[in-house]
Chains A and B, each alone.
Chain A
Amino acid sequence: MTHTPAEAQAETEVTRRGFLASAGVVSSYVAAGVAGFAGGAVTASAVSASSLCTQSQLRAQEQAATIPFFGDYQAGIMTPLQAYGTYMAFNLKSSTGIDQARSMMQLLTDDAARLAVGKPTLPDGDPYLATEPARLTSTFGFGPGFFSKLGLAGKMPVGFGELPAFSIDKLQPEYSGGDLVIHVGADNPLTVAHAARQLTRTANTFATPLWSQTGFNRPQYGEPTDQTGRNLFGQVDGTVNPRSAQEFDAQVWASSGPRWFHDGTCLVIRRIQMDFAGWDKLDDTKKEASMGRRLSNGAPLTGTSEFDKPDLEAKNAHGLSVIPAFAHVRRANTGKDTEKFLRRPLNYEDGLLPSGEPNAGLIFAAYMADIQKQFVPVQQRLADLDLLNTWITPIGSAVFALPPGARRGGYIGEGLLG
């Protein structure tokens, strides 16, 4: 039999078309082009880059950019935030045993690998929608029910499990729980929708859909000039994220516990509804006091630039703390390395509420090696005291264990199901 791996072929095809397959190369061209276009401080390299590529060529390259699917880690975690994304959760059907779960993950892996390089899935009825990957990533994870239903409870990662109930929670079942999560991200919303539909069809044979949450962002390209994104309250969100490989090793990738989970990570998804009417009543000073950071650039109230370390001890002339006791930054930040993690949120906007306010907020997605150790203490402190709680309400919550990446010929979850 001559079953050539689809992704190998597709990569050849992409190269043949003359596209730049490397997202890094594409993005640097894009960044340079944008700088030149903006007409600000145009550097020599920006000039040469923009003269090499027209705006339309840059856009085409952006749409053709790919993120490798295979590797030590799953894509879509370390990947700089794409502009669009969706999280979909499923519950396993009672007919799905370990053999079916293995089939499901093999098929999902095959689908995702093809889509990542701009190829349709095997049963794709709309193959032309697959041709613009736009940094598409598909990421998979298992909820606590996945382990218990398949008799794998003994293989749960260390520190993985349902979150405790928090006093601030007003959880709705339509945004909570799940045995399987599929996360799709890309810089093109059509690409996200198409990939989500392909992967859902595959999952639907083995599982029933539970919820899906779709959102958007200011995209990042992994460039040094990337700005941290903002949430819909206008706050710079994600400043303290890990950025280096060492930080990811320390915070995100599991290196202890069951062997199959090494290089995997845990995902906490919280749907946070925002009260815009309430927030809008605050002036900027009060907003900044609540956050502990400046609105203009995300700098802590004790600093001048975004990445200045908040000085929680600093006092003003009259002896009051500069960063208030109730400020989000103070409550979230203990300075403990063991309580840091990656935040990769999406903003959501689902039309208007009867009040006329947007039905909108944040799909808070956090990735960490150990939920119990890294996430729960932080969330507990925020639940106990965080002035932002006045204007935000968690209405959905779910946890998943995301296996390590797959090698060519293998599949996501092979260590657990193989």
Chain B
Amino acid sequence: MIRRIGAALVALVFAVGFSCGTAQMASAHSDSFQSVPADDSTVTTPVTEIQFTFVEPVNAELSPPEVVLVNQDGIAAELGAPILDETGATMTVQILSGALPNGDYTASYRIVSQDGHPASGELFFAVEGSDAPALVAADADADTDAIAEADSDVMVTSSGSGNDTQLQLVLGLSAAGAVVLAGVLVLVSLRRRRNSQAK
């Protein structure tokens, strides 16, 4: 339920921020895929790997796939190299530290499909009932990075429409009100947006 409210708030902030319609920003087009764990799911069994299945085979030769898994605090789990099955469409990534501890997770991927088209997106899930120890940040700057990353995500998202005016509006917005910016950042990290396209 919190997710729904979060998404609605994101939409509201954007709608207030830009009087002109920027619908595609809030509802980014998604490349359909299936995953284990499933998107938007809560998992009570140990999660030791993540699996994506895409509609088209992945072209790993053209560009090695990228996968990143972070928890609600922006701490990244250490992952093995993505492995493709014989169809090329299913990609599995091992979590090197073992089963995930309790928390909210975002798994992001960026792949290139067989025809060379880049695609990227995110998968959201929660882990409950795990007794694994908490994730430890790999480097000390993880926290400060998280803010910069969130900021850059806002920029990139806004540029999806290819409109500099909107980009400047976003920047202007962040400069104008720290409260609003903080709200956006929180919402960005809360929102349970499904896959977005390549940045």
Contacts and interface: CB of A to CB of B under 8 A. Distances in A.
Interface of A: 278, 281-286, 288-290, 294-297, 301-302, 304, 314-322, 324-326, 385, 387, 389-391
B153 A326 contact: no
B32 to A, nearest CB: 16
Given A286-B197, A324-B198, A387 B63 contact: yes
B110 A322 contact: no
Interface of B: 62-64, 66, 68-70, 74, 76, 106, 108-110, 112, 115-120, 122, 145-146, 148-150, 152-153, 155-156, 159-160, 162-164, 167-168, 171, 188-189, 197-199
A294 B116 CA distance: 19
Contacts of A314: 148-149, 152
Contact of A318 (B122, B163, B171): B122
A315 B152 contact: yes
Contact of B118 (A278, A317, A324): A324
Contact of A294 (B108, B122, B162): B162
A274 to B, nearest CB: 14
Contacts of B148: 314
28 contacts: A278-B115, A278-B116, A285-B160, A285-B162, A285-B198, A285-B199, A288-B159, A296-B164, A301-B156, A314-B148, A314-B149, A315-B68, A315-B152, A316-B149, A317-B153, A318-B70, A318-B153, A319-B68, A319-B108, A320-B108, A320-B110, A324-B66, A324-B110, A324-B199, A325-B66, A326-B62, A387-B63, A391-B116
Contacts of B74: 319
Contacts of A285: 160, 162, 197-199
Nearest to A295: B162
B194 to A, nearest CB: 12
A294 B199 CA distance: 11
Contact of A390 (B62, B108, B150, B156): B62
A319 B112 contact: no
Residue from B66, B108, B156 with most neighbouring chain A CB atoms (10 Å) = B156
B164 A297 contact: yes
Contacts of B159: 288, 294, 301
Contacts of B199: 285, 289, 301, 316, 320, 322, 324
Contacts of A289: 118, 120, 198-199
Nearest to A279: B116
Contacts of B153: 316-318
A302 B167 CA distance: 12
Contacts of B69: 319
Contacts of B66: 320-321, 324-325
A387 B156 contact: no
Contacts of A282: 117
Given A286-B198, A290-B118, A320-B110, 7 more contacts: A285-B197, A286-B119, A288-B159, A296-B163, A319-B76, A326-B62, A390-B116
A320 B68 contact: yes
